[in-house]
Structure 1
Amino acid sequence: MTDAWNDIKPELGFGAQSRANYAENPLRSRGRLFKEPESPTRTPFQRDRDRIIHSSAFRRLKHKTQVFVYHEGDHYRTRLTHTIEVSQIARSLARALKLDEDLAECLALSHDLGHTPFGHEGEDVMHDCMAPFGGFDHNAQSLRVVTHLEQRYAEFDGLNLAWETLEGLVKHNGPLVDGTGAPLGKFAGGQLPFAIRSYAERQDLLLGTWPGAEAQAAAIADDIAYDAHDLDDGLRAGLFAIDDMREVPFLADILADVDRAYPHLEESRKIHEIVRRSITRMVEDVIRHGFMNLAELAPQSAQDIRMAGRCIVGFSPELTAAEKEVKRFLFARVYRHEDVLAVRKLVAGVVRDLFRGFLADPGLMPKPWSIGLEELGDDELARRVCDYIAGMTDRYAIEEHRRLFDDTPELR
């Protein structure tokens, strides 16, 4: 590094004044797969954040659904608004726990880049369609997006993100393999998704350890944001009533606090009070429990966090149980609501039709997707079709279905 670089680093916030020794230090990053000159004004993690924000995949999130399809109205969450909310919570957690805020933000901003159109229904259908070809997983697809599908730079495919960003992205929910290399969790008894296996041949992301604390902060921020905004959207959509939440002790306690403080509050403001207090309680619990775990572990480096053998940044046991009750409530009242299920059935047909149609006649895909098809084997062709569909927005998927089929549903 040049003397000028060393002179400017502290003024730009590159020092470790507010970062604990167990946080990721951008000055000690393990680097990028493709060597690049360092930026004189941004840390590696700040550059990663900027590359993610400027990517095509990130822009498409504004027209990708969470639970409701985009036709439902302008006030419901999309993947983009959800991602921004996760980013805000992740930065708050990172700041409180003295982690690297930029890396936590990076991981929050990139965590949903691989999602299909139409929310989890689209992912489920895509996984079924790809079952003969290795399956589909949105987290693995996010890795594929940032390491291959984004083709913007002259010297490499992907965004060439720092090792710490890729590691946190691919295993933000914990280790993917055990000590023998056998897959864990939802992949147990099978194999890791194609995108993860293929990238592991190029760069070792330590798939058998926990990720750094910043990735753990982004992962729990995702859960917090999901719970809060699905409560908000479900209430505003009329899928359940405020009083229905009294069956969940965590929510009943918050509702009682709001009623005591504001006994005559109008419903729209009451909904906001419930949601904001839910977020606050969850965030404060993670911070308290995180400091307890850190005090017990006494980590001296980011690697100590990875080797702890357990999650360090997460809910306390009490809130873990409470949050599971919230999720059970949302599953019954929102995700399995008859109105939502009716739309999910329609969009499942759209994704399935598109996959079968393009697989049967891949020349129907536009360029560059339809270039070089004769060189592809069956698995590679299916993956090409999968990549194309997974990158679609809800709106574009409907338009493509309408172009190819006569029975495109109206999602109203």
Structure 2
Amino acid sequence: MDALELYDDHARERVVPEPPKRVDAPERTPFERDRARVVHAASSRRLAAKTQVVGPQSDDFVRNRLTHSLEVAQVARDLSRALGSHPDIAETAALAHDLGHPPFGHNGERVLADVAIECGGFEGNAQTLRLLTRLESKTVDADGRSVGLNLTRATLDACSKYPWGPEDARAGKFGVYAEDRAVFSWLRDGVPVGASGQAPPRRCLEAQVMDLADDVAYSVHDVEDGVVAGRVDLTRLEPSSVWATMREWYPSELVDVPDDELDDVLGDLQAVGSWPHAAYDGSRASLAALKNLTSDLIGRFCGAVQHATHAAGPGPFVRYEADLVVPRRTGLEMLVLKGVAAHYVMQAEDRLAVMARQRELLAELVALLAHRGPDALDRAFADDWHAAADDAARLRVVIDQVASLTDASAVSRWEALRGPRVASRA
């Protein structure tokens, strides 16, 4: 059966019905059209100038949010195809998964979460839903209000990495603000209900594929970037120090994992045939060896998940007919790689100083924009400000504006509002 046939009219529905395209246009499936809309969105282009781990201006090799998203999309598409679900849905969710992230990566996200408390908080995944259904306008409803890109229900649901609100946040993660509940309820319509009569916060299989692809890419590629930058030497790791960092960064995931098990997991990774036995030296041979390692690790993780998922049931592996199965050992292997990047890259002393300055700048930018109001906002956000009913709604507009900025445009906007006398601090 063709994968498209596994998705019914309900899965293909859009908030605003759209007539068929003119007959001389290329014929595309609804999910191909969704993918094209995300690819051509301005928010996607801005990802090229947003931090993944280190700033995009700091090195020509390191990944930015856009290149990371492209790599996540490739992993998601291949895994989705192998499982028999529609690859365009998982790929689109992967392309969109970081659209809501603000300047300076997770560092900026933490700042906005603190300053946005009075308007319901901030979370990159909730901001992604807001972009797709409101801020990144392609279609308007009968009243002239933006419905965002007007994606299909199946695609929007696949983009919901955390399908619950801030009241149910887990480790600070959630996927919808209070003011976006209506469209969230629409996209979650039809989710199987549990014994209590309430729809559980379950993710569709395509969202699970997107999330796994993000974990795979994040764990492998951040280590690769760290190796090339000279911050990580895979031949001289200090496991006890890495485990200590991991327990600070990922406490809930390591509750029942002793250090000796982490030692075993690292040993399994080091037994991969392409794991380096000599320090990276920047030569083409060394680059090729590193690329072989990243390829082998991605194949190792995805292969293990594909095998476990097929072994768990007959499928079909679409929407709510099945769940992705990630073996415990595979999850720990990815977590160990994340720990290596966290220890040697994210918490390096020079990075901590830069991150502190970024937090100060972003918090001050929010305050300056809130004080100046619509005159300091882009036209679309100025319109939102004028339509806002109260101070909380106006603060949300300011947060939307700041989250839309790139690293460089956040600095330049701050400089313009604050004055050139403090530009050197950025």
Q: TM-score, normalised by structure 2?
A: 0.80
Aligned residue runs from structure 1 range 282-301, under 5 A:
282-300=298-316
Q: Is the Cα contact below 8 Å between 2:15 and 2:147 reproduced in 1?
A: no
Q: Is the Cα contact below 8 Å between 2:48 and 2:66 reproduced in 1?
A: yes
- In structure 2, distance between residues paired with 1:291 and 1:348: 43
Choose from 228, 236, 248 the match for 2:228. 236
1:398 paired residue number: 411
1:72/1:225 CA distance change after superposition, 3 Å:
same
Q: 1:321 Cα shift?
A: 1.7
1:210/1:358 CA distance change after superposition, 3 Å:
same
Is 1:102 the counterpart of 2:92? The answer is no
Is 1:379 the counterpart of 2:392? The answer is yes
Choose from 66, 82, 94 the match for 2:68. 82
Q: Is the Cα contact below 8 Å between 2:218 and 2:338 reproduced in 1?
A: no
- In structure 1, distance between residues paired with 2:287 and 2:400: 38
Q: Is the Cα contact below 8 Å between 1:246 and 1:255 reproduced in 2?
A: no
- In structure 2, distance between residues paired with 1:336 and 1:103: 35
SS of residue matched to 1:211: coil
Q: 1:341 Cα shift?
A: 1.1
- In structure 1, distance between residues paired with 2:270 and 2:188: 46
Among the aligned pairs, what percent are the same residue? 28
**Post-superposition, which runs of at least 4 consecutive aligned residues in structure 1 deviate over 6 A?**
none
1:196/1:222 CA distance change after superposition, 3 Å:
farther
Bigger Cα displacement from structure 2, 396-405 vs 282-291: 282-291
- In structure 1, distance between residues paired with 2:132 and 2:384: 22
Aligned residue runs from structure 1 range 152-163, under 5 A:
152-153=138-139, 155=141, 156-163=146-153
1:407 paired residue number: 422
1:193/1:314 CA distance change after superposition, 3 Å:
farther
1:34 paired residue number: 16
- In structure 1, distance between residues paired with 2:360 and 2:98: 22
- In structure 1, distance between residues paired with 2:114 and 2:167: 23
- In structure 2, distance between residues paired with 1:86 and 1:229: 10
1:200 paired residue number: 184
1:13 paired residue number: none
Q: Is the Cα contact below 8 Å between 1:249 and 1:322 reproduced in 2?
A: no
CA RMSD of aligned residues (A): 3.0
Aligned residue runs from structure 1 range 13-412, under 5 A:
16-17=1-2, 19=3, 24-25=6-7, 29-39=11-21, 41-153=27-139, 155=141, 156-170=146-160, 172=161, 176=164, 183=168, 185-186=170-171, 193-194=177-178, 196-200=180-184, 202-205=186-189, 206=191, 208-245=200-237, 247=239, 248-254=266-272, 257-259=275-277, 266-268=281-283, 269-300=285-316, 302=318, 304-305=320-321, 312-362=323-373, 363-371=375-383, 373-376=385-388, 377-405=390-418, 406-409=421-424
Superposed CA offset, 1:320-352 (max 9, x none): 122222222221111111121111111111111
- In structure 1, distance between residues paired with 2:212 and 2:64: 19
Q: TM-score, normalised by structure 1?
A: 0.82
Q: Is the Cα contact below 8 Å between 2:361 and 2:414 reproduced in 1?
A: yes
Superposed CA offset, 1:18-73 (max 9, x none): x498xx53766341111112457111110000000111111111111111112202
1:31/1:230 CA distance change after superposition, 3 Å:
same
- In structure 2, distance between residues paired with 1:43 and 1:265: 45
Bigger Cα displacement from structure 2, 99-108 vs 28-37: 28-37
Q: Is the Cα contact below 8 Å between 2:204 and 2:318 reproduced in 1?
A: yes
Q: Is the Cα contact below 8 Å between 1:254 and 1:274 reproduced in 2?
A: no
SS of residue matched to 1:408: helix
Bigger Cα displacement from structure 2, 248-257 vs 147-156: 248-257
The alignment covers a number of residue pairs equal to 379
1:8 paired residue number: none
Q: 1:196 Cα shift?
A: 4.8
1:71/1:83 CA distance change after superposition, 3 Å:
same
- In structure 2, distance between residues paired with 1:157 and 1:409: 40
- In structure 2, distance between residues paired with 1:293 and 1:375: 48
Q: 1:218 Cα shift?
A: 1.5
Q: 1:265 Cα shift?
A: 8.2
Bigger Cα displacement from structure 2, 272-281 vs 222-231: 272-281
Q: 1:238 Cα shift?
A: 2.0
- In structure 1, distance between residues paired with 2:317 and 2:269: 38
- In structure 1, distance between residues paired with 2:369 and 2:7: 45
SS of residue matched to 1:244: coil
Q: 1:297 Cα shift?
A: 2.7
Q: Is the Cα contact below 8 Å between 1:115 and 1:142 reproduced in 2?
A: yes
Instruction: Give the gaps of 5 or more residues in structure 1.
Output: 1-15
Q: 1:384 Cα shift?
A: 0.4
Q: 1:108 Cα shift?
A: 0.7
- In structure 1, distance between residues paired with 2:397 and 2:383: 11
SS of residue matched to 1:368: helix
1:105/1:26 CA distance change after superposition, 3 Å:
farther
1:284/1:314 CA distance change after superposition, 3 Å:
farther
Q: Residue type matched to 1:287 in 2?
A: G
Superposed CA offset, 1:363-392 (max 9, x none): 322323224645421111001000000000
Q: Residue type matched to 1:408 in 2?
A: A
